[in-house]
Amino acid sequence: MPAITCIEDLRVLAEKRVPRMFYDYADSGSWTEGTYRANESDFQAIKLRQRVAVNMENRSTAVKLVGQDAKMPVAIAPTGLTGMQHADGEILAAKAAEAFGIPFTLSTMSICSIEDIAAHTTAPFWFQLYMMRDRDAMERMIERARAARCSALVLTLDLQVIGQRHKDIKNGLTAPPRPTLANLINLATKPRWCLGMLGTKRRTFGNLVGHVKAVTDMKSLASWTNEQFDPRLSWADVEWVKQRWGGKLILKGIMDVEDARLAANSGADALVVSNHGGRQLDGAESSIHALPRIVDAVGSRIEVHMDGGVRSGQDVLKAWALGARGAWIGRAFLYGLGAMGQPGVTKALQIIHKELDVTMAFCGHTQLKKVDSGILLPGSFPQA
């Protein structure tokens, strides 16, 4: 196997090893995928100022994320179907994150359950929740997150309706995959993945099947899910969740200054500037472009994080320079997971940390906490 030097190397390997429908699920956006592509390209347009003759010894990228110590300002984002990129994927990613020293966030739509993660890790993790019509199911999920020692609840606000993702429709995405001729032919080319799946019992949505009334199998789950994402979501519902949770609350999916102000007013501990990785509203601006305005509006009142397009440590540094106190990675860790399992996630984190550390040094800093927009070339980055 060739040397792995960057996240792109992991992506190429993951594409070879993960079944088409699940690789496409991770590596795609909605409609034309314009926003999905802009998330990456807008990062690349931002240029850095190189400094020289500066003492570069004793560097540190350590920070706190929502009060939790972290080796770098990076969190693993909640991603659905992670356990279909690699057998027991959420467990492996959580273990890699714990060992590396950054937060891991488990999705409601995960394959491994909240209890699975708690049984295989000792560090507290974060749990992501969708607003659903079945409030009893939500309350039970909140209680399960509390019992599992979750240190923060992440409420996703931008999935009241699901964006049209053309690749998922064409692939007939299901978990586990339906035994169609096309799927069977593709699976036959992925022996490593198939062997892994044969060795685990976790092949469906572990947080829902067996925990939600009337959901006993994939057919009933599909029917329940289609009915449950609540299009009536309002800020009163955010307060409902906040009261029942009682702990650290992060609001994910903020792209507008007015919404950011409402998020700060809600009493949440942090917000995530996010367009859902370009998987919801195609034609929306990139997360990195929306970030400075939101930081300017509410950064003194609420901790601001971001996700979308983060593929390198340089991207993390640029986001930090523009005011994000945390950058969340989804596809970057999924590529590592699909490529090599837990060692692949660890490799992705090592790559990002090394790039962050070295780039910070080239920009004349040894302490990340002292980095600001002064490291960016004027005129190359979005203004508030």
Q: Which residues are the active-site residues?
A: 276
* Cβ proximity of 173 and 182 under 8 Å: no
- Structural tokens at position 380: 């190359």
Which residue(s) pair with 271 in the sheet? 251, 304
